[in-house]
């Protein structure tokens, strides 16, 4: 019998992974999940570890469960990203977007509040839920089309995602990580405006209204985003006209909430850049 003090410990997880001791790493995660069954990040690490051991089925099962939990908690964008990963692991799942669309629509009809899980930043979580509510505004058929058209993009720290002044062909939804927003100042200098985290939209002005990019957006950490192209939005809107109107209304409401912050940022930067007197 293995003695308690010889059992793999979660604090040694990185060491196990570095040594490719995947059996010990998995045992450490499973032991910790017995103590913290609601730790979704730890469950995600288990899914990633199972991929390293070639247990694709086991990993997909965990990802599906995580997606369901994220929908229950109102984090629909995270669920979308997970289903995209599942589709990459198992391309022979033609109904996967329908499954997610039905799951989101069912969740919208639920009268009971979502389960309360401990969050590191409740305020940030509330903002992300508000942004993710976009996915609940479409009917099931339109939502399935939207989900099918999305692409999952991964960026490294410092990657330029969009550039001010260029024509825009995609809008983005930040799932994980963060991006920084810059604009050209009066002298052509780069002016920092804001930092956006999970739940943030950007690129919608160029895509929905045909205007050039209004800012440069760069990743300020490893970042995952959902991308929808203008071409796909136009295609979907031909059969589901409400898609464009919903996107426009949703983005306009979010822009109104954010405009005062951006204007204040510009004024602050401009005032500090000018010499006194």
Bridge pairing between strands 179-184 and 190-196 = antiparallel
Record the tokens describing residue 119, joined without a space.
Answer: 């969050």
127, containing H or E segment: helix 122-132
Q: With 80 as the cut, is the pLDDT of residue 271 above it?
A: no
How far, in Å, CA of 32 to CA of 42, rounded?
8
- The superfamily CATH assigns to domain 153-277 is Jelly Rolls (2.60.120.10)
pLDDT at 131: 86
Whole-number Å distance between alpha carbons of 194 and 101: 32
Tokens of 15: 């060491």
* Cα distance between residue 63 and residue 48, in whole Å: 9
Query: Which residues pair with residue 219 across a beta bridge?
Result: 179
Q: What is the pLDDT of residues 223-256, one digit of tens each?
A: 999 999 999 999 999 999 988 898 888 878 776 6
**pLDDT for the residue numbered 45:** 95
Average pLDDT, the chain: 85
Bigger pLDDT: 61 vs 186: 61
Residue 197 scores a pLDDT above 60 = yes
* Per-residue confidence (pLDDT) for residue 110, from 0 to 100: 56
- Domains of the chain by residue range: 153-277
Q: How far apart are CA 181 and CA 273, in angstroms?
A: 18
Which range (28-32, 136-140, 151-155) has the least confidence?
Answer: 136-140
Of all residues in the chain, what percent carry a pLDDT higher than 90?
55
Q: What is the pLDDT of residues 207-226, one digit of tens each?
A: 888 889 989 999 999 999 99
Query: Which one has a higher pLDDT value, 172 or 263?
Result: 172
Burial of 228 (C-beta count, 10 Å sphere; 0-12/13-18/19+):
buried
Confidence check: pLDDT of 178 > 90: yes
Residue 1 has pLDDT above 50, yes or no: no
- The pLDDT tens digits for 64-109 are 999 999 999 999 999 999 999 999 999 988 789 999 999 898 766 6
């Amino acid at each position: 019998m293995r003695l308690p003090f010889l059992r793999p410990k979660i604090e040694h997880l990185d060491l196990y992974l570095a040594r490719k001791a995947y059996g010990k790493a998995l045992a450490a995660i499973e032991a910790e999940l017995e103590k913290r069954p609601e730790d979704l990040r730890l469950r995600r690490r288990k899914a990633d570890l199972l991929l390293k051991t070639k247990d694709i089925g086991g990993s997909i099962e965990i990802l599906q469960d995580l997606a369901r939990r994220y929908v229950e908690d109102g984090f629909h964008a995270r669920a979308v990203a997970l289903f995209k990963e599942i589709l990459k692991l198992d391309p022979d799942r033609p109904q996967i977007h329908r499954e997610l669309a039905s799951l989101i629509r069912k969740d919208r009809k639920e009268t009971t509040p979502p389960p309360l899980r401990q969050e590191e930043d409740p305020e940030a979580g509330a903002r992300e839920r508000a942004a993710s509510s976009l996915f609940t505004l479409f009917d099931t058929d339109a939502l399935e089309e939207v989900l099918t058209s999305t692409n999952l993009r991964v960026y490294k720290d410092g990657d330029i995602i969009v550039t001010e002044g260029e024509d825009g062909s995609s809008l983005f939804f930040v799932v994980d990580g963060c991006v920084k927003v810059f604009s050209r100042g009066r002298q052509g200098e780069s002016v920092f405006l804001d930092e956006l985290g999970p739940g943030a939209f950007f690129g919608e002005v160029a895509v929905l209204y045909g205007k050039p990019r209004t800012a440069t957006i760069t990743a300020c950490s490893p970042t995952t985003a959902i991308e929808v192209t203008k071409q796909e939005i136009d295609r979907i809107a031909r059969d589901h006209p409400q898609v464009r109107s919903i996107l426009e209304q949703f983005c306009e409401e979010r822009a109104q909430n954010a405009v005062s912050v951006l204007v204040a940022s510009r004024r602050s930067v401009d005032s500090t850049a000018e010499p006194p007197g």
